Chain A
Amino acid sequence: MNNMKLNLCLLALALLAPTLLYPVFLAKVLCFALFACAFNLLLGFAGLLSFGHAAFLGTGGYVTGYLMIHSGLTPEVAILLGTIAGGLLGAIFGKLAVKREGIYFAMVTLALAQLIFFFYLQAPFTNGEDGLQGVPRGALFGLIDLSDNMVMYYFVLVIFIAGYWLINRTIHSPFGQVLKAIRENEDRATSLGYDVNHYKWLAFVISAALAALAGSTKTLVFELASLTDVHWHMSGEVILMTLVGGVGTIFGPVLGAGFIVTMQNYLSGGEMGNYIHIIMGAVFVICVLSFRSGIVGQLMKFKRNNF
């Protein structure tokens, strides 16, 4: 019940926010929040650290961007196809990665993501360093023009809520139960008859598809798909967002993404722009050393101790 109230408050906040803050900035926060939540599904609930999630974000972005420029499809279809493309790529990555454990899993995902990066760098349809610029936002279902930032924001909010709901549901589903069991004790899950790699694989595919959904949506918001989104920096950034917010908590990655994106926005404008990576690095170190459970973990502890 309490949770319900909290969710309603957050929803009200999200609905009113664009009257106070720049809607494109808010849409950006939501895209990264979805990206981080998708990543966290894997790290927090299946115990798998992917260092290649930029590949899915970027693939969603490129596919959707390309379709919007060249095909005349409506945006919701282009986003759906971008999401499916990310899911398919995830199916291949997952197949190769889930057989490995721990750091080797991370290395396989990183290696594959680098491969994808070089593919997009060389492929003729991505425009290399320039990226796909001037991606039209189109009209939703051919009816609702998305060129207005306010309208775009609310569309992004709907997508975010849908994605967030699906992640939440996945975590609290029969599948999610098995996933948690695998995270807790993989050998025991095996000895009860679960083919653990199949479950990890499905978690990977869902996570990849939702990361691609975030990328597809982001491309529409910025009218741009570029190499930034497939660069390994991006794979690192999503780890940062998740850890800062609270890995394994459902809402943590949303806060983490909000925090990091806000910080980047403020820093990149001013004189501090040159130091952005150093500052981010420092934030990371501070977080890891002083509150391992992230912002949400810390808040929950505070609540437990004081109420």
Chain B
Amino acid sequence: MTQPAQDFILETRNLTKAFKGFTAVDDVNLNIQRGHIHALIGPNGAGKTTVFNLLTKFLQPTSGKILFQGEDITPLKPAAIARKGVIRSFQISAVFPHLSVLENVRIALQRKEGNSFHFWRSEKILNRLNHKALALLESVGLESFANTVTVDLSYGRKRALEIATTLAVEPELMLLDEPTQGMGHEDVGLVSDLIKKVSKDRTILMVEHNLHVVSKLADRITVLQRGAILTEGDYASVSADARVREAYMGTAADDVDTKQTAEVAS
């Protein structure tokens, strides 16, 4: 298998994760091109979130390798991977609920200041980050909520805040797990515009169920089914693929299959 000389920011080689004999991620070879919005789609339980957990090392792969900018990052710990510039979001919104909106973003800015272990200094020294934090909030339309306690934000705004927080660490690669899940029409539009906007000079790998959003955003799509890659391509070719249609239609039947496989295996 020879690859043309392309600039892949992230590659996986035969990435596999087995839970007690049930293979949730099966021999996955991903190639994410720098600058792309790359969508990972597939029916419920296909293993998308598990792939994210492996890429960020929240889970340990059973076998296989993860390469980031050509470097093998498989042995690194989650926080170390984040410091390399791979920042993930979570399927359920990932904010700090009882901190203010501004503080949420500031936490992300704070790490590079190198004072995060300074317990003897006043938190007032963090105020010098406020300016930058506000600018980030402005970029996602949340500047007027800076002093709101985050728990009081609407769901869509929490997701926007999450993106601002992620941007604060200047990620090379953003992993977004269903950023529009559970949102109303309006919010979906807002968040997908936002993703488009922030994708300008970075790479995004996103899990997304809303095919309309995928069609609008994704440069490339990988379809996952029962842990394995079913097909890969641009939206036109993927949506024309009969197997993809079947995978999406047959979600219910699929679940039954998966369960049976698990039982047989264990």
Contact = CB atoms under 8 A, between A and B. Distances in A.
A189 interface: yes
Interface stretch (A83-91, A173-181, A215-223, A258-266): A173-181
Contacts of B96: 180-181, 184-185, 188
Interface in B69-92: 77-80, 82-83, 87-90
B126 interface: yes
Nearest to B175: A191
Interface in A183-231: 184-185, 187-196, 198-199, 202, 206
Interface in B96-121: 96-99, 103, 106-108, 110-111, 113, 115-121
A170 B116 CA distance: 11
Contacts of A185: 94-97
A301 interface: no
A196 B79 CA distance: 8
A41 to B, nearest CB: 10
Interface in A248-299: none
Given A185-B95, A192-B165, A177 B83 contact: no
A169 interface: yes
Nearest to B165: A192
B169 interface: yes
A192 B117 CA distance: 15
A172 interface: yes
Nearest to B123: A172
B248 interface: no
A187 B82 CA distance: 11
A194 B111 contact: yes
Nearest to B108: A192
Contact of B82 (A175, A178, A192): A192
A158 to B, nearest CB: 18
B119 A169 contact: yes
Contacts of A180: 96, 98-99
A202 B87 CA distance: 25
B237 interface: no
Given A177-B103, A178-B110, A191 B120 contact: no
Interface string A224-241: 000000000000000000
A190 B99 contact: no
A193 B97 contact: no
A67 to B, nearest CB: 26
B59 to A, nearest CB: 12
Contacts of A202: 117, 119
A180 B149 CA distance: 14
A184 B87 contact: no
B225 interface: no
B97 A174 contact: no
B99 A174 contact: no
Nearest to A177: B123
B90 A193 contact: no
A191 B77 CA distance: 10
B147 to A, nearest CB: 16
Contacts of A190: 58, 78-79, 82
B208 to A, nearest CB: 19
Contacts of B103: 177
Given A192-B165, A194-B79, A175 B118 contact: yes
Nearest to A182: B96
22 contacts: A169-B121, A173-B119, A174-B117, A174-B123, A176-B119, A177-B103, A177-B106, A180-B99, A184-B96, A185-B94, A187-B90, A190-B79, A190-B82, A191-B78, A192-B87, A193-B79, A195-B77, A195-B80, A199-B116, A202-B117, A202-B119, A206-B119
Interface of B: 56, 58, 77-80, 82-83, 87-90, 94-99, 103, 106-108, 110-111, 113, 115-123, 125-126, 165, 169
